[in-house]
Amino acid sequence: GESVGLHLPTLSVQEGDNSIINCAYSNSASDYFIWYKQESGKGPQFIIDIRSNMDKRQGQRVTVLLNKTVKHLSLQIAATQPGDSAVYFCAEETSGSRLTFGEGTQLTVNP
């Protein structure tokens, strides 16, 4: 079936380190992927997206990598800051713009 999953439920890093959050997806036909950040009590916030015709996309301090061969997605956050602490979801767009989310990774940044 269509599903998106995450390898690790929690990730703890030191302030200033780089963070890498991973995601596996199962639907090889999916062509659009999005990373969202969700802080406690708030709605998901768009971070970065990537389409299947790309392998890498960079934003401000964030990079998304897509490996279609092994159906793997990752989010890299450079110089992680305390404000980056949140739950991160990858989402897969399937059959006409509906999003399928994984369980999320809780990122904790230690000062």
> Which residues are at the interface with another protein (CB under 8 A)?
32, 34, 36, 42-46, 49, 89, 91, 95-104
Residue 51 or 56 with smaller CB distance to another protein: 51
Shortest Cβ 102–another protein spacing (Å): 6
Q: Name which of 20, 15, 8 is nearest 65 in CA terms.
A: 20
Strand stretches in the chain, DSSP E: 4-5, 10-14, 19-25, 32-38, 45-51, 56-58, 62-67, 72-77, 86-94, 98-101, 105-110
Residue 6 or 109 with smaller CB distance to another protein: 6
Residue 78 or 99 with smaller CB distance to another protein: 99
